[in-house]
Every structure is written in C-alpha cells, then in structure tokens.
Amino acid sequence: MMTTLPPHIRRRTKPVDKTLLTLMVMLLLLGLLTLFSATYYKAQDRGDALSEVKKQLFGVAVGAAAMAVTMRIPYHFWQRRRVVVVGVILSAVLLILVVIPGIGKSINGSRRWLALGPLSFQPGELAKYATVLFMAMTLTARGKKIEKLFTGILPVLIVPGVMFLLILEQPNLSTAGTIIIVSVLMVMLAGAKWRHMAFLGAGGLIVGAYYAWSAEYRRERLLSFTDPFAKMSDEGYQLSQSLIAFGSGGLFGMGLGQGRQKYAYLPYPESDFIFAIVGEDFGLAGCLAVILLFVAFMLAGMRIAMRCDDRFGCLLAAGIIGMISVQAFINMGVVVGILPTTGLPLPFFSAGGTSLSITMAAVGIVLNISRSCSDNLM
C-alpha cells in the first residue's frame, strides 16, 4: 500500500536545479583555465607554475563544502531576524575594522582586506550578501508599504546606504555601487512605483557624479577610459594594455597561454582584468562564450526566483543572482573600456579564494530555494 508523503516532506526532497549548478561548474572550470594562463608565467619564477591555481582550487573546495551546507539549510532560516541582524552587524564591524590603520591591510592605496594569518579576505564580500538578506527580509515584511516613497522605500535603503558609505571609505566605489544597484533592483522587484525609482535614480546620479568629480584622482580615472591611449603613462595604462590584449586575440585568440600581456604588461591579469586574458587567449569567440554563460547563469537564477512559492524566496534568489550578475557585467564592461576603470573581480574567474567561497555558498542558498519551486526545473 502506497503512503502519500506530506507536502513539506515532498518539497524538501526535490532535487536542486541542475541547470544553475551546471552553469556554475562550467564558469568555474573556465575560470581555473584562464587563471592558469594568467599566472603560470610569474608563478613558475616562484618555483611552482600552478601555485595560484592550487590556491584557487582550495577556495573551490571550501566553497563546495559551504555550498553543500547552504543547499541543505531551509532557506527560511535566512529570514530569521536574529540571523539577518547578526550578519548586518558583523559586516558593519568588519568594514569599520578594515579602514583602521594597522588593522586593515592596504594595497595600492586601498584598505580593503583583513588578514587572518596567511589568509586575507575582503569584508565587502560578506557585506554584499548580508545586505541582500536584509533587503529580502525587510521587503517581505513591508509588503504593499513599499509603494510609498518616504515611509516605504527610503527606510529600507538605510542599511544599504550605511554599507555603501563604509565601503566607500576603503575606498571601493565599485563594490559599494554594486550594493546600491542590487538593492534598488530588489526594491523594484518588490513592487515599488516607477516614478519613485526614477526620482531616486536621478538623485543617485547627481550624488555619484559629484563624488566622482570631487577628487582629482577619481576625476582622472573617470576621464581616462574615454581615451586611455592618451594617458598611457598614468591612469590609462591598465585599460590600454587590456585593449591591446583584446586586439591581439582577434576572432579566435592566440591559444591557451600564448598571450603576451601577462608578461608584466597588464597589471593584475589574475584578478580585476582577467577577462582581458580571455580575450587574448580565446579571442572574440571565447569572450562571447563567457558572456553567454553569465547570461544563462543569470536567467537560470532568475527563473528560480520567479517560480519560488513565496515572496522572501523570490527576493532572496533574485538578490543573490543579481549581485553576481551585476558584478560580472560591471567587471567585463570595465575591461573592454565601456565603463570607468575600477577594481572589481570577475566572479568564478578572478583569483581570491575567500571571495569565491562566499559566492559559492550564496549560490547554494539559491539552489535550496530551487527545491521549493512550484514546478520541476529540471
């Protein structure tokens, strides 16, 4: 005699969305391949051509373990007020610590890292997803109130605003801006009125323009991307070398490891400008393949969000996928010269084990949400 399981048991045992998982694995594999090409030349001088890849593989292993956990935690756990409050407070404290001289680790004039023995991580990475949790919980609780500007939208944006200001002190405009962009997208998804969002968008553009123009080094960086070759000896050097890499790659690239820009020409080929290595080694075809994978990843994640049974799961999945996607497209836009140069890693590609681990753990939450979707996503 067959026994019918209760609905909550059946839901819990549904498989995760294999499309999203497969796309993430493909991005990880391409990222490791590109990272090897970007780093083996310098790494072999230190005695191990695979040293950076091994570090990244350790991050993948930690991320896989974290993802295995978050995939099994019912996503409503992240809706608990104490969990969200702890995440927001912890992120804020770490962001304050990182800007204190002697505590935060400074590299090239930016203090974005905290050292934990031989490891270091950016508190901004944790703050991004803590903000997403806060937004998902708060927007769910507010419901129809989000249709009002002063009593609905503005109070919700206080926490993202605080995170923005704290990260701006590092300074790290790209990460701070990503938090604001994704928070606004989540507010729009929650049902805010378009005229209110247009008003906030205009105000944000005015504040952003003033901030970008208020300091000489920011002004120079903003202007350099319009004609980087005119400023090759200064702010335009990195973007110029990146564009040379894309030009050298042509349609199908020079071949894995055959590109020249990593030979001490292009700064940070393993992190912020790793997409230029894709362009030089694999050409336009390789770049389009990576872009299409990120687009497919975004669509698969948003499909999960749209099919989720409840408002919180929808907003949480959309926020996490939006954070990864916005970061990816800003990074690629910077590297090809259509956005001002800024330091933002490419998800699943750029070197950075802790950032990768946190991102994979966040994807695990989306995969858990996919278990509760109203129909089979397989």
The one-letter code for the residue type at 199 is F
Contact, 335 vs 341, CB < 8 A?
A: no
pLDDT at residue 257 greater than cutoff 90? no
What's the confidence (pLDDT) of residue 109? 63
50-83 exposure pattern, b = at least 16 Cβ within 10 A, e = fewer: eebbebbbebbebbbebbeebbeeebeebbeeee
Contact, 146 vs 187, CB < 8 A?
A: yes
What's the confidence (pLDDT) of residue 11? 46
Q: What is the mean pLDDT of the chain?
A: 86
Evaluate if pTM is beyond 0.75. Answer: yes
Contact, 219 vs 253, CB < 8 A?
A: no
pLDDT at residue 301 greater than cutoff 80? yes
Confidence of residue 4 (pLDDT cuts 50, 70, 90): very low
pLDDT at residue 263 greater than cutoff 90? no
pLDDT in tens, 316-368: 999 999 999 999 999 999 999 888 877 789 999 998 888 899 999 999 999 99
Q: Structure tokens of 343? A: 């330091």
Measured distance CA(97)–CA(115) in Å, rounded: 11
Residue 230 vs residue 305, higher pLDDT: 305
Q: Out of 164-178, 185-199, 209-223, pick the least confident.
A: 209-223
Confidence of residue 223 (pLDDT cuts 50, 70, 90): low
Percentage of the chain lying above the pLDDT 90 cut? 52
Residue 378 vs residue 112, higher pLDDT: 112
What's the confidence (pLDDT) of residue 41? 80
Percentage of the chain lying above the pLDDT 70 cut? 89
Residue 7 vs residue 299, higher pLDDT: 299
Please tell me which of 78-82, 108-112, 211-215, 259-263 the model is most confident about, judged by mean pLDDT.
78-82
pLDDT in tens, 82-92: 999 999 999 99
Measured distance CA(165)–CA(142) in Å, rounded: 24
Measured distance CA(125)–CA(360) in Å, rounded: 12
What's the confidence (pLDDT) of residue 378? 41
What's the confidence (pLDDT) of residue 14? 80
Q: Structure tokens of 11? A: 């839901």
pLDDT at residue 27 greater than cutoff 80? yes
pLDDT at residue 45 greater than cutoff 80? no
Domain locations in the chain as residue ranges: 17-39+54-370
